[in-house]
Structure 1
Amino acid sequence: MAWLDWVSLFLRWFHVIAGVAWIGASFYFIWLDNNLKQPPQWKQDKGIKGDLWAVHGGGFYEVSKYQYGPEAMPDKLHWFKWEAYTTWISGFCLLVLVYYFGASAYLIDPQVNPLSPSTAIGLGLGLIFGGLVIYELACRSHLAHYPVLFGILLLSMLTFASYFASHWFSGRGAYIHIGALIGTIMAGNVFLQIMPSQRLMVDAVKNKLAIDPKWGAQAKLRSVHNNYFTLPLLFIMISNHYPVTYQHPQNWLVLIAIGIVAAWIRHFFNLRHIGKVRPSILISGAVGMLLIAIWVSTPLIDDSLKPSAENVGARVVEPQVLAPDQQTVHNLIQLHCANCHSSTPTDDIFVVAPLGLKFDSWADISGKAALIYQRVVVTRDMPFLNKTQMTEQERELIKNWFLEQDT
């Protein structure tokens, strides 16, 4: 229905705006905290731990951070929480609208796992909130005092979650659920630890009580966790535009590999903020991304075409591939693609041609030959969830047609 598209549009738009505000605040405050310098003695006497001067927007700014708190609470105190809350709320609403209401179209891939919508939704919610509980328990345990061990545990949890999600859902559904898990952990850090710690600090200042240093330390630790999550999460937010990643046979491993490299690159900038420049981190991160791209883009050998123990010595019959003539290709596109990509779609989900792509005529088809080849042969994410059951022989025909066009 058209109104659902408008709701999705505005929700997605709002989600991006809120996310920019939240991630921007994360980048800024980590940068700010790492760039504070020891203040002059008169500021230290007032309890100021560090300060920073900056110029922006035609003016000078002086920012100071107190060791524990100011002598008196100011009349106006700015809190940074709604950037996180609105990002999570809008993202969860999008998840429900797109992937839960449209579970049969976007979340469930019968070729991966023929789940019922209710089962798929239950698994998705269990993965998101179950992961949050595991993370929160780990943060509140003694593991939090051992950063390396905690990091290994967190990476293991996300790896297992990615593996199971990729074996439950469609590629897009798996990626978006790992993104929802990470986003929920980040918002949970704000709601469950950062804000309660800050409220304790504010109440202590108001009541002239001593501030426990661990309140600030716990909040800062969660903020650092969130900061390292930002780049992997941003990748997941745009990944649905790049089926070469989520349609890969080892899509869960692709996701984890990109997430590790992205967090590693973020580490370079966090170190740089405190004056430690490590070009090796940035270079190794770039090399890592290049190796991932080469791995993901390398053509796969179809195991079904390899000789097996059962057919060794037997006559191998090659599948017949029709000649890639214009009429045959046109008929294939009409059969497998035009139900969505036409001026009058007949699909039960897409009432408007996705991305505005229409294959009503041969001129439309031949003009998009490279795109058809990419999505049908290379990434193999089209036809959508292979609802029309395109065969391997038909994909081979599209491949031969394109290669003939390209010569």
Structure 2
Amino acid sequence: MLDFAIFWDWLSFAVRWLHVITAIAWIGSSFYFVALDLGLRQRPGLPEGAFGEEWQVHGGGFYHIQKYLVAPAAMPEHLTWFKWESYATWLSGFALLCIVYYAGADLFLIDPSVLDVSVPVGIGISLATIGVGWLFYDNLCKFSLGKSDTGLMIVLYVILVFIAWGLTHLFTGRAAFLHLGAITATIMSANVFMVIIPNQKILVADLIAGRKPDPKYGKIAKQRSVHNNYLTLPVLFLMLSNHYPLAFGTQYNWVIASLVFLIGVLIRHYFNTGHARKGNPTWTWLVAAILFVIIIWLSTVPKVLTGEPKAASATGEVYVASTHFPAVRDTVMGRCAMCHSAEPFYDGIYHAPKGVVLDSDDAIASHAREIYLQAGRSHAMPPANVTQMTDRERQLLIAWFEDGRE
């Protein structure tokens, strides 16, 4: 019979893979159309209503593309919609949130030293932050401030900084970064689902009915698309950050997240300016590099990463009481703790990987499942088996974990 822990780990892997695939499709199409839009050229003789055109070559063929700011005079026979890339990315991301952070809330979502709440309450707070984030953003765009692209972006950035700070007072550092990314990604996907696609459908309906489309719908959709373009790179950073405790597990993690948004804007500004043929602002890379150096410094200001190991739960006490535990403790201390400790002494390791500390009985017990999967059922740990963990020791870890579940 298939071990549930193994099945769950593979399920997480499969959904993560799906999430990455759909994100590549969405981001790729988004970047392409922004570059295309900025690179359009005007010339005499364009069809009525056409704003610009561009010739491109790819895959051995030539493409002639024209853009209509509002809509063409008649409905085209074939119309390709770009929406499922966005929807699938959000749905797979939410599924991954459920699998990793909700199913493992006591380990990955809730930190009693930050906010001591039950698992259902923690999940409720998680869902509320994601939903409220979109509602606040959407209504802000609809106010008079939304007519000023620059003013709106500045206000939105200040709000994102506040959200980053607030999330670190609700969840673990890892979960705070994940939720900041989830809120931003929800804004991006909801822009597509709630604004961009509905507005485009209104234009299509007007064409079919023989009415002259209202240009305001296209303008609103364009503004939301630009927001998505500038938010993409920070979201990618936040997606990857859970693998790097120096990003999420330090005292100034919310400042780091805030600076990442600035870096993302700078990099997109460089490419967008180039695509629009308005110059080559290489200074953006220098400023981005300086900000990244500041991030590195901020991550090393505190001597010890935040997020100390939690005390053993009732389940943890079962693992500590196991007859296998003395031998397991010796194995973990001898094969793992040189890296996974508050002060690692393995050459080149300065902080416990992923913030996992295994230098006490309670800490070892609280990470029983991860030890079982990473070093028992698989040989993922130790990396390249640098500490020469034996097959007998791996079997011991399996027996210890499986006895604790009975």
Give the TM-score, by structure 1 length: 0.76
Deviations 1:151-199 (A, max 9, x none): 2321222122211211111111111111110011001100111011100
Q: 2:200 aligns with which of 175, 198, 201?
A: 198
Percentage of matched positions with identical amino acids = 38
DSSP-derived class of the 1:240 partner = helix
* 2:212 aligned partner: 210
* 2:362 aligned partner: 388
* 1:329 aligned partner: none
Q: 2:76 aligns with which of 50, 74, 77?
A: 74
Is the 1:239–1:246 Cα contact (8 Å) retained in structure 2? yes
Figure out how many residues of one structure are paired with residues of the other and give that number: 339
Give the whole-Å Cα distance in 2 for the aligned partners of 1:363 and 1:102: 25
Deviations 1:88-145 (A, max 9, x none): 0110111111111110011012232222111211111111101111001011111101
Q: Counterparts in 2 of 1:18-37, with a 5 A limit?
A: 18-37=22-41
* 2:351 aligned partner: 375
Q: 2:299 aligns with which of 296, 299, 304?
A: 296
Is the 2:252–2:298 Cα contact (8 Å) retained in structure 1? no
Is the 2:243–2:354 Cα contact (8 Å) retained in structure 1? no
Deviations 1:204-226 (A, max 9, x none): 11122111111111111000000
Is the 2:49–2:69 Cα contact (8 Å) retained in structure 1? yes
Distance 1:149 1:359, change over 3 A: farther
CA RMSD across the alignment: 3.0
Per the TM alignment, residue 246 of structure 1 is displaced from its structure 2 partner at its CA by 0.4
* 2:12 aligned partner: 8
Give the whole-Å Cα distance in 2 for the aligned partners of 1:48 and 1:301: 59
Deviations 1:285-320 (A, max 9, x none): 122112221232345499xxxxxxxxxxxxxxxxxx
Give the whole-Å Cα distance in 2 for the aligned partners of 1:384 and 1:236: 26
Distance 1:382 1:31, change over 3 A: same
Is the 2:109–2:171 Cα contact (8 Å) retained in structure 1? yes
* 1:235 aligned partner: 237
User: Which residue type is aligned with residue 105 of structure 2?
Assistant: A
DSSP-derived class of the 1:55 partner = strand
Q: 1:175 aligns with which of 174, 177, 202?
A: 177
Give the whole-Å Cα distance in 2 for the aligned partners of 1:100 and 1:110: 16
Per the TM alignment, residue 389 of structure 1 is displaced from its structure 2 partner at its CA by 5.7
Per the TM alignment, residue 67 of structure 1 is displaced from its structure 2 partner at its CA by 3.6
Give the whole-Å Cα distance in 2 for the aligned partners of 1:74 and 1:98: 44
* 1:99 aligned partner: 101
Stretches of structure 2 lacking an aligned partner (at least 5 in a row): 306-311, 321-329, 365-406
* 1:109 aligned partner: 111
User: Which residue type is aligned with residue 85 of structure 2?
Assistant: E
Is the 1:39–1:48 Cα contact (8 Å) retained in structure 2? no
Q: 1:263 aligns with which of 262, 265, 275?
A: 265
Deviations 1:311-344 (A, max 9, x none): xxxxxxxxxxxxxxxxxxxxxxxxx9xx99xxxx
Give the whole-Å Cα distance in 2 for the aligned partners of 1:363 and 1:241: 21
Deviations 1:41-85 (A, max 9, x none): 1x24x3321110011101111111124322322222100000000
Distance 1:362 1:385, change over 3 A: closer
Stretches of structure 1 lacking an aligned partner (at least 5 in a row): 303-335, 348-357, 391-407
* 2:368 aligned partner: none
Give the whole-Å Cα distance in 2 for the aligned partners of 1:375 and 1:359: 20
Distance 1:364 1:56, change over 3 A: same
User: Which residue type is aligned with residue 165 of structure 1?
Assistant: L
* 2:283 aligned partner: 280
**Off by >6 Å, runs of 4+ in structure 1:** 363-368, 384-387
Give the TM-score, by structure 2 length: 0.77
DSSP-derived class of the 2:113 partner = coil
DSSP-derived class of the 2:350 partner = helix
